[in-house]
């Protein structure tokens, strides 16, 4: 029956590498893990066997694994970063006064031996032959017994022993909300090798890049604990805990203190789970009969919000299906745990002691990551803005749909404000900055979330909202289950619209150039016409929408093309007269055009009337007739 279940799930997914880029390839890994958890000591042991397929044209002499738990030890790189950065994550430090000074102390720095995290590796073999291993912080370096040739497979096996750290960041034990186990980044995870080479990044604070594959995982744990996580539970009628089929009565042998949970997750690039002995487990059917599981602490003050949130989660799933593409799995779990909200394959861990709107909001954002990260698997260490920014864009739109009218009419307003604040602060770094290399957490957060979101909103300004909507859907359809890069979303937008957009991707992501235009002069050209001079003060070029309102209440729209686009946007105002002016070449600092009415007939002139261009100084974007 278990084999039949595996097979019944496989056809639902596309396992092919459907990335349309010529010559594209990606590695593949199949995991088998058997894990035993001691809930009293918060320690676990496991055996792992993986079949690794080298789809590259390269011969591999080494492989690398992430050992994320090792970050939670005094003296680790993560600990050092907390002590050196001026704005450490508040969740990861203690703040107190000492001799009149505010002190921020790394929580990692004071962990005792029974509180730290670790992953110890033993008995590493390749196809049954011992290989040489070396641990460097959070990375296991393996010199293979024999090279993996192009298009060949090898079997890698190891034993591991882990300790779950106190809850400090993402993973851990006994969270502030008393969730026992948040098991994220918990196993030896193979590093990704792609067209850029190995991505054996140390775990300092940021997010991830993983190898696509299948996970077959068995977890043995105290039978009082309920688990939620990645994958499909294969033995649900033996486990119970709310997973069993309707009408099935699950009876546990009294002599058994533990249960072994068997999960299978096809075509994912990570595996996470949470567990607690006080979890309530609810399940509802969402669109396309996707099982939506909810696992949360049995706390009276939170029960109503967690119940009310469940149908909203189904509405969110429907929204993302319609506006991005179909969710490709048959289950999704929302699990209380962690230290905020964090996405994983087919599930999320979120803190649960929240107001209703906040609970739906964090679920919306983390669930949206199932599209923008867990199906469109960008490298988050290098292109975090594609993950967080695109997720913020679609989840903000979704929240306006499922919880009106509590969200503002413009759901992107805060992102624009955040970006403009950063751009004017002098502390901005390009979006191409490695996620760990930002000088400030503030700069990273605004760049990844806000500037990444503005990238998409502003793309709609450039090519039109209808083209943007088509771009998002085509991007999802063409690049799902692969590792897209910034150039891929740009190329899709170009193919959909016909516009050239290389300049936009370059300026917005590889530089800190800003957009800054002003109305420099409005004067009489002659008795019948008015001359308008617009100045470009910032380095980044843009096409311009200009709206003129006349004293009689009528309006006229002027579009100034950016010649780098080699394209003109259709008039977005169907009831307003539109004019396409000659293109503005970047090298010219000013642009002059005439309005076929005298100056006294003009009430106002506005650059970017919809306020969707991220101009860092909007005060000089409007001329008002005195």
Q: What is the pLDDT of residues 402-411, one digit of tens each?
A: 998 766 678 9
Burial class of 4 by CB neighbour count within 10 A (0 to 12, 13 to 18, 19+): exposed
Distance, CA of 267 to CA of 371 (rounded, Å)? 14
pLDDT over threshold 50, residue 604: yes
Taking only the tens place, the pLDDT of each residue in 301-311 is 999 999 999 99
pLDDT over threshold 60, residue 10: no
Distance, CA of 556 to CA of 609 (rounded, Å)? 12
pLDDT (average), residues 5-24: 60
Taking only the tens place, the pLDDT of each residue in 49-60 is 999 999 999 999
| Count of helices and strands (H, E) across the chain | 12, 33
Please tell me the predicted confidence (pLDDT) of residue 4. Answer: 38
Please tell me the predicted confidence (pLDDT) of residue 100. Answer: 86
Please tell me the predicted confidence (pLDDT) of residue 624. Answer: 97
Q: Which of 31-45, 94-108, 524-538, 580-594 has the lowest mean pLDDT?
A: 94-108
DSSP 548: E
The H-or-E segment that residue 469 falls in is helix 465-479
Please tell me the predicted confidence (pLDDT) of residue 510. Answer: 98
- For the chain, the farthest-separated pair of C-alpha atoms sits apart, in whole angstroms, at 99
Dump strand ranges (E) for 67-186. 93-98, 101-106, 118-126, 129-130, 132-136, 139-148, 153-163, 172-173, 181-183
Taking only the tens place, the pLDDT of each residue in 343-377 is 999 999 999 999 999 999 999 999 999 999 999 99
Contact 615, 622 (CB under 8 A): no
626 or 22, greater pLDDT: 22
Please tell me the predicted confidence (pLDDT) of residue 2. Answer: 38
Q: How many C-alpha atoms does 284 have within 13 Å on its Cβ side?
A: 15
Instruction: Report residue 205's pLDDT band, with 50, 70 and 90 as the boundaries.
Output: confident
pLDDT (average), residues 219-235: 98
Instruction: Report residue 327's pLDDT band, with 50, 70 and 90 as the boundaries.
Output: very high
Contact 392, 497 (CB under 8 A): no
Distance, CA of 342 to CA of 348 (rounded, Å)? 6
pLDDT over threshold 60, residue 201: yes
Contact 239, 258 (CB under 8 A): no
pLDDT (average), residues 427-437: 98
Taking only the tens place, the pLDDT of each residue in 107-146 is 999 999 999 999 999 999 999 999 999 999 999 999 999 9
The bridge status of strand 172-173 relative to strand 181-183 is antiparallel
Where would I find the H helices in 381-464?
Answer: 384-402, 413-425, 441-445, 452-463
Q: What is the DSSP string of 214-277?
A: EEEEEEEEETT-EEEESSEETTHHHH-TT-SPTTPPP---TT--EEEEEEEEEEES---EEEET
Instruction: Report residue 12's pLDDT band, with 50, 70 and 90 as the boundaries.
Output: very low
Task: Provide the percentage of residues in the chain whose pLDDT is more than 70.
Answer: 97
Residues written for the chain: 626
Omega before 405 within 30 of 0, i.e. cis: yes
Q: How many C-alpha atoms does 204 have within 13 Å on its Cβ side?
A: 18
Tokens of 154: 């090898």
Q: Which residues, 6 or more positions from 317, have their beta carbon under 8 angstroms from its beta carbon?
A: 286, 287, 290, 292, 327, 332, 367
* Ramachandran bin of 474, using left for φ above 0, alpha for ψ from -120 to 50, beta for the remaining angles: alpha
Taking only the tens place, the pLDDT of each residue in 449-477 is 999 999 999 999 999 999 999 999 999 99
* Ramachandran bin of 142, using left for φ above 0, alpha for ψ from -120 to 50, beta for the remaining angles: beta
177 or 17, greater pLDDT: 177
Please tell me the predicted confidence (pLDDT) of residue 99. Answer: 87
The H-or-E segment that residue 306 falls in is helix 300-323
Please tell me the predicted confidence (pLDDT) of residue 17. Answer: 61
Spacing of C-alpha 367 from chain mean position? 10
Q: Which of 1-15, 254-268, 416-430, 540-554 has the lowest mean pLDDT?
A: 1-15
Q: Which residues pair with 532 in a beta bridge?
A: 522, 593
Q: What is the mean pLDDT of the chain?
A: 95
Distance, CA of 461 to CA of 464 (rounded, Å)? 5
Distance, CA of 178 to CA of 196 (rounded, Å)? 42
Please tell me the predicted confidence (pLDDT) of residue 9. Answer: 42
Distance, CA of 341 to CA of 319 (rounded, Å)? 20
Contact 213, 54 (CB under 8 A): no
Three-state secondary structure along 327-351?
Answer: CCCCEEEEEECCCCEEEECCEEEEC
Place of tokens 């988050």: 380
pLDDT over threshold 90, residue 1: no
pLDDT over threshold 70, residue 524: yes
Please tell me the predicted confidence (pLDDT) of residue 13. Answer: 42
Tokens of 350: 């979120």
Please tell me the predicted confidence (pLDDT) of residue 21. Answer: 95
Please tell me the predicted confidence (pLDDT) of residue 626. Answer: 83
Q: Which residues pair with 82 in a beta bridge?
A: none
CA angle, 165 then 166 then 172, to 5°: 65
pLDDT (average), residues 70-90: 98
């Amino acid at each position: 029956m278990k084999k039949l279940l595996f097979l019944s799930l496989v056809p639902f997914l596309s396992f092919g590498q459907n990335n349309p880029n010529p010559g594209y390839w990606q590695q593949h890994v199949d995991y088998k893990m058997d894990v035993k958890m001691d809930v009293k000591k918060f320690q676990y042991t496991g055996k792992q066997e993986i079949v690794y397929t080298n789809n590259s044209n390269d011969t591999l002499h080494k492989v690398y694994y992430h050992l994320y738990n090792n970050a939670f030890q005094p003296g680790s790189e993560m600990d050092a970063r907390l002590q050196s950065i001026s704005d450490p994550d508040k969740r990861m430090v203690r703040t107190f006064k000492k001799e009149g000074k505010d002190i921020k102390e790394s929580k990692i720095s004071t962990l005792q031996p029974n509180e730290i995290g670790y992953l110890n590796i033993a008995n590493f073999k390749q196809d049954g032959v011992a290989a040489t291993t070396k641990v460097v912080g959070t990375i296991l370096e393996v010199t293979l017994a024999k090279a993996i040739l192009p298009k060949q497979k090898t079997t890698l096996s190891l034993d591991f022993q882990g300790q779950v750290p106190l809850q400090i960041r993402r993973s851990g034990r006994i969270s502030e909300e008393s969730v026992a186990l948040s098991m994220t980044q918990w196993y030896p995870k193979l590093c990704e090798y792609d067209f850029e080479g190995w991505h054996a990044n140390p775990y300092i604070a940021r997010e991830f890049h993983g190898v696509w594959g299948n996970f077959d995982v068995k977890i043995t744990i105290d039978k009082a604990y309920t688990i939620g996580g990645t994958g499909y539970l294969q033995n649900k009628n033996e486990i119970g805990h709310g997973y069993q089929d309707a009408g099935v009565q699950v009876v546990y042998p009294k002599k058994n203190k533990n249960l072994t949970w068997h999960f299978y997750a096809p075509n994912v690039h990570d595996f996470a789970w949470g567990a607690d002995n006080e979890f309530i487990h609810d399940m509802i059917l969402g669109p396309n009969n996707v099982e939506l599981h909810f696992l949360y602490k049995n706390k009276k003050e939170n029960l109503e919000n967690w119940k009310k949130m469940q149908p909203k989660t189904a509405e969110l799933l429907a929204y993302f299906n319609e506006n991005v593409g179909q969710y490709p799995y048959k289950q999704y779990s929302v699990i209380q745990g962690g230290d905020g909200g964090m996405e994983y394959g087919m599930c999320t861990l979120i803190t649960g002691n929240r107001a209703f709107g906040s609970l739906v909001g964090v679920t919306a954002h983390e669930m949206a990551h199932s599209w923008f990260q867990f199906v469109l698997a960008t490298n988050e260490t290098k292109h975090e803005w594609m993950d967080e920014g695109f997720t913020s864009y679609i989840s903000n739109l979704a929240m306006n749909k499922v919880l009106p009218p509590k969200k503002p009419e413009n759901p992107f307003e805060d992102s624009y404000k955040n970006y403009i604040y950063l751009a004017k602060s002098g502390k901005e770094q390009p979006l191409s900055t490695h996620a760990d290399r930002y000088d400030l957490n503030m700069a990273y957060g605004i760049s990844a979330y806000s500037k990444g979101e503005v990238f998409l909103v502003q793309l709609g300004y450039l090519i039109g909202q209808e083209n943007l909507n088509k771009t998002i859907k085509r991007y999802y359809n063409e690049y799902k289950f692969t590792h897209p890069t910034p150039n891929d979303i740009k190329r899709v937008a170009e193919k959909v619209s016909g516009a050239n957009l290389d300049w936009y991707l370059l300026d917005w992501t590889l530089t800190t150039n800003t957009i800054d235009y002003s109305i420099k002069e409005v004067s009489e050209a002659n008795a019948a016409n008015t001359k308008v001079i617009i100045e470009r003060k910032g380095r980044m070029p843009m096409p311009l929408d200009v709206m003129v309102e006349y004293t009689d209440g009528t309006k006229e729209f002027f579009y100034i093309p950016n010649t780098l686009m080699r394209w003109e946007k259709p008039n977005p105002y169907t009831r307003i007269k539109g004019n396409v002016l000659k293109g503005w070449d970047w090298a010219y600092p000013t642009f002059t055009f005439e309005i076929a009415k005298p100056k006294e007939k003009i009430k106002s002139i506005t650059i970017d009337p919809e306020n969707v261009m991220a101009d860092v100084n909007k005060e000089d974007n409007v001329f008002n007739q005195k």
